[in-house]
Each structure stands twice: as C-alpha cells, then as structure tokens.
Amino acid sequence: MSLSELSVRELQKLHFDEECIFCEKVLGLPRFSSERKEVLNKGYEFAITVKEEIGKKKGVELISHGATKHTIKLLKKLVKEKLSESNDPIALYEAGVGYGYAIENILSRFRKEYESGLLTIKGCDIFLQPRMSSLMEVNPLLDITKDDIFDSLSKLPNNSIDVFYADNVIEHFLPDEAETILSEIAKKMKQGAYFYVFIPNKYIGPGDVSRYFLPLGSKALGTHFMEMSFNEITNLMEKYSIHHAYCVGYIPKTSLIFCIKKQALIKIKLKMEPILRKIPTRFLRRVVFALSGYSVSVMRKTT
C-alpha cells in the first residue's frame, strides 16, 4: 500500500511507529559514528516524506517553524543590533536551515549589507531542500553545507559567529552528543554573540509525532530526544558562559512579539515555570507557555 492510500491518522500512526523504532536503534549506536548518521538520515528522510504527504491531504504547504513571523522578526532585530554595534562584518550562522525561510527573510531585510560583505551567512542541514538549494543558486555568497551541525561547526574558526540561530533544532541532539556539540557552538561564538534558539518546551510536549499518541507532559519517543524546560536550557547554557539577554513573549502565528532587556523579568519567568506546568488542560497550558515565550531563548555569550 502506498502512502497516498493512507488517511492522515494512518500516516501519523505509521510515522510514530517507524520513528520509535529508528530512534531506539539510533540511541544504541556509537556517538558521532557514521552508522548512527546514516540511520538518522534515513529516518529523517522518511519523516519528511510522510509529513509532505500529510500536507497534501490537508491541502497545506509543509513549512518549517523557521517561517513563523515572530521568529523572523526577532532574528532580524538581533542582526540589526549586532550591525549597529560595530562597522566590522558580522557572521550569522543558522543550524538546520530547512526550507530557507529565515535566510530568505534576512536577505530581504539586509540585502545591502549582505552584498557589501558586511553580513555573512553560514549554516547547515543534513538535507538541503530544493527550495534552499534554489536560494543558494541566486545568492552565491551563502555558505550553506550539507552537514550535521557538529561537522559543519568543526570547519569554522573559533570566535567567528556573531549570531547563532537554531529554530527547532536543539531538541534533535542525541543526549550523549549534546554537550560536545554545545561546547563546540560556544567555542565558535564571539564574546557578545547572540545564541537564539527556539526549542519545544517539554512541559507542553511532547512536540514531535508523539504528541498525537501520548499524554501531555510525556517524554517524546520520536526525534525530539532533548525537549527541555526553560530552566533546564538556562542552566545548561550557563555552563558555557551563555546567559539570557532578553525576556521574550509572543503571540504564535503572528508578528506580535515583545523582547525586553530586563533581568528581573527573566528571573520571574524562571520561578513561574514550575508553577505554570501544573495547569491541567493541554490547551490552556499551551497558550500560557506560548504567550510567556517559554520556548524561546535569546542569550548572549559573556566571556
């Protein structure tokens, strides 16, 4: 039976079952091994194929989270701020470029800076989607490689990134590889560089295909190996001298976002998270966590 003959629910169940199997296999393979990478690539390729089929059945284009308006707006703000701080060229690095929506929007806003060499854009993805490849053809200065993030970063000089951006990427890190990759990210970031990540908060998860089959707050069984709370990612990144620079909140699927440099607000947000996780209903908890920006971290490397 072909995928086109399955219903949306049947496709979701197939996706869930297959992802559980391949994720269990991946976790049993040696860290950073070529065998592990091969299994991951095949698993992600299958997942994309199924998601695209679901998109066809629903009559919607499959787009990445990088297309969300608030994410693009905030990324533009950070790039603009870095450009205003110095006349030296700044380097943006995106981990997991996806369909290229974020880069396309940055280019539309900072075309002059990009063409003059004041802004360089690098990045990687284990799959280079046709849309991203087309974007690279018309913008030859883009330096995007078909790599996993660790291999891509290892080719860059230390202290070479001004804005590190990852939209729904870090949760895919393998637990036994995560600290090595995060340490590499920190080494490549300049002092004062931004670390801007969007990661599904585990208290409103699971956020991968598990969400269709598991209760609210369950551990993800698919490729979201490392969904974290806001407190957890805060504590984890502080080990690398990367600390919150902004307190963020937003209205999902809109461009309405606030981003405030108030450490007191960040401290309140951290203290409130364990309380808010006790909200009993899925819908209300998701709304409150989204409006409070508990999936967004805008941090800065201090040393």
Tell me the per-residue pLDDT of 87-125, one tens digit each, with 9 for 90 and over. Answer: 889 999 999 998 899 999 999 999 999 999 999 999 999
pLDDT digits (tens, 9 = 90+) for 276-301: 999 998 899 999 999 999 999 999 99
pLDDT at 67 over 60: no
- Per-residue CA distances from 111 to 69, 105, 114, 226, 241 (Å): 19, 10, 5, 35, 32
Mean pLDDT of 128-145: 93
CA distance 71 to 67: 8
277 close to 223: Cβ distance less than 8 angstroms: no
Look at residue 65 in the predicted model and tell me its pLDDT.
53
- Per-residue CA distances from 263 to 234, 248, 253, 268, 299 (Å): 13, 11, 26, 9, 12
Percent of the chain predicted with pLDDT > 90:
77
Look at residue 251 in the predicted model and tell me its pLDDT.
86
Look at residue 52 in the predicted model and tell me its pLDDT.
87
In 3-state terms, what secondary structure has residue 176? coil
3-state secondary structure 36-59: HHHHHHHHHHHHHHHHHHHHHHHC
* Sign of CA pseudo-dihedral 41, 42, 47, 49: positive
Nearest-CA neighbor of 171 among 147, 210, 207, 203? 207
Look at residue 63 in the predicted model and tell me its pLDDT.
57
Percent of the chain predicted with pLDDT > 70:
97
Average pLDDT, the chain: 92
- The DSSP bridge pattern shows strands 296-301 and 189-198 to be antiparallel
Look at residue 148 in the predicted model and tell me its pLDDT.
92
CB neighbour list of residue 184: distance below 8 Å, 6 or more residues apart: 150, 153, 154
Mean pLDDT of 31-52: 91
CB neighbour list of residue 215: distance below 8 Å, 6 or more residues apart: none
pLDDT at 233 over 90: yes
CB neighbour list of residue 5: distance below 8 Å, 6 or more residues apart: none
pLDDT band, very low/low/confident/very high, at 64 (cuts 50, 70, 90): low
pLDDT at 266 over 60: yes
pLDDT at 131 over 70: yes
CA distance 239 to 5: 49
- Maximum alpha-carbon separation in the chain: 59
CB neighbour list of residue 288: distance below 8 Å, 6 or more residues apart: 276, 279
Look at residue 225 in the predicted model and tell me its pLDDT.
95
Angle, CA 236 vertex, CA 153 and CA 215 arms, to 5°: 105
In 3-state terms, what secondary structure has residue 220? coil
Choice between 65 and 71, residue whose per-residue pLDDT is larger: 71
Look at residue 128 in the predicted model and tell me its pLDDT.
86
As a residue count, the chain comes to 303
Helical spans, DSSP H, in 171-223? 178-188
70 close to 257: Cβ distance less than 8 angstroms: yes
Helical spans, DSSP H, in 31-143? 34-58, 69-85, 101-109, 111-116, 130-138
Choice between 183 and 52, residue whose per-residue pLDDT is larger: 183
Nearest-CA neighbor of 164 among 205, 194, 134? 194
pLDDT band, very low/low/confident/very high, at 71 (cuts 50, 70, 90): confident
Would you call 107 exposed, middle or buried from its count of C-beta atoms within 10 A (0-12, 13-18, 19+)? buried
pLDDT at 2 over 90: no
230 close to 287: Cβ distance less than 8 angstroms: no
pLDDT at 254 over 60: yes
Look at residue 139 in the predicted model and tell me its pLDDT.
94
